[in-house]
Amino acid sequence: MRKLALRTVALGYLALILLGPLSVVFWRAFDKGVGPAWTAVTTPDAVHAFKLTLEITAIAVPANTIFGVLCALLIVRRPFPGKGVLNALVDLPLALSPVVVGFALFLLYGRTGWFGSWLSRHGIQVLFAMPSMILATAFVSIPFVVREVVPVLREIGTDQEQAAETLGASQWQVFRRVTFPAIRWAVAYGVVLTTARSLGEYGAVSVVSGRLAGQTETATLYVSDRYENFDIVGAYAASVVLALMAIVVLVTMNLLRPKEGVH
C-alpha cells in the first residue's frame, strides 16, 4: 500500500515535470503535419545551425577528452603543488552560470580585453566568430571526462602499471596496454556526457557568438531565434531534432553505464 503510494508520487511527479511537457513539444511540432515541420528544419539557416553545432562539438569534445584523460592521470597518479586549485577549476563549470562563462570570454577577447587589441591588430576574429564559440563550449564541458576517469583510476591502483614497467615497458606502452584498457569505458561515458553538454550549450555561446543567423547561430540559438520571431513550428521542430539527439545520448549512456558501474 505504502509502496503503491510512493510509486504514484514518483511517477506522477515525473509525468508532470518531464514526460507531459516533452510529449506536448512533439505534438506541437507536428501540429500542422510532418510537412511544415520538415520544411522548418531544412531551411538553409536551420541546416547551417545544426552543422555549426556539430562542427563545434567535433572540436571541443576531442580536445576535452585528451585533456580529461591526462588531467585525471595527473590528479590520481602524481602529487604536485596546486592540485586543489586544479581540481576546483575543473569542477567549476558544473556550478557556474553559462552566461558568466560567456561574459568572461567576452571580456578576455573583446576589443578592450587583454587579448582583444593584439588579436584585432593581427586580423584574428575570435569574438562573434567560431573560435570563441568553441572556447565557450570547451569551458562548459570540461569536467565530464575528468570526473568519470578519476574514480576508476583510483580503483585500479598502480600494481599492474608497476609490473609492466618492471618488465621493461615504456611509459607509452604502459598507458596503451595497461592503463587505457582499464579506463576506456569511463572515458567513453565521459565522452558521451561531454558531447551532450556541447550539443546543448546555449547561455555561453549566446553571449560570445553575436547570434548572426546563417553565420554564428548554433542549433540552440536557432531555436530561440525562431521562437523570438514567432515561428512556433520552426522553434518546436528544431527542438524535436535536438530532443531526438538527446534521446540518442540517453540510450548510449544507458548502454555504457552498467559496464563499470560508473555513477
Query: Where in 125-184 is the site for other proteins (CB under 8 A)?
Result: 135, 138-139, 142, 158, 161-162, 171, 175, 179
E strand residue ranges, 127-175: none
H/E run at residue 258: none
56: CB partners within 8 A, 6+ apart = 130, 133, 134, 137, 198, 205, 218
Q: Which of the ranges 34-42, 70-78, 123-131, 181-189 carries the binding residues for other proteins, by CB under 8 A?
A: 70-78
Cβ 227 to other proteins shortest distance, Å: 6
Cβ 195 to other proteins shortest distance, Å: 9
Q: Which of the ranges 35-43, 123-131, 182-190, 237-245 carries the binding residues for other proteins, by CB under 8 A?
A: 237-245
Q: Which of the ranges 44-52, 72-80, 117-125, 182-190 carries the binding residues for other proteins, by CB under 8 A?
A: 72-80
Cell of 209: 557568438
Cβ 168 to other proteins shortest distance, Å: 16
Residue in 41, 49, 56, 90 binding other proteins, rule: CB under 8 A: 90
193: CB partners within 8 A, 6+ apart = 141, 144, 145, 148, 253
Residues 109/126, Cβ–Cβ less than 8 Å:
yes
DSSP secondary structure string for all residues of 159-171: HHHHHHHHTT--H
Q: Is 104 in the site for other proteins (CB under 8 A)?
A: yes
Residues 233/29, Cβ–Cβ less than 8 Å:
yes
- Cβ nearer to other proteins, comparing 48 with 238: 238
Cell of 85: 586549485
Q: Is 56 in the site for other proteins (CB under 8 A)?
A: no
Q: Is 51 in the site for other proteins (CB under 8 A)?
A: no
The CA-CA-CA angle for residues 261, 155, 253, to 5°, reads 25
Cβ 39 to other proteins shortest distance, Å: 19
* DSSP assigned state of 125: -
Q: Fill in the per-residue mask, 26 to 45: x = in contact with other proteins (CB under 8 A), - = not in contact.
A: -xx-----------------
Cβ 177 to other proteins shortest distance, Å: 13
Q: Is 58 in the site for other proteins (CB under 8 A)?
A: no
Distance, CA of 212 to CA of 193 (rounded, Å): 28
Cβ 91 to other proteins shortest distance, Å: 5
Distance, CA of 43 to CA of 49 (rounded, Å): 10
Total residues contacting other proteins by CB under 8 A comes to 88
Cβ 214 to other proteins shortest distance, Å: 18
Q: Is 114 in the site for other proteins (CB under 8 A)?
A: yes
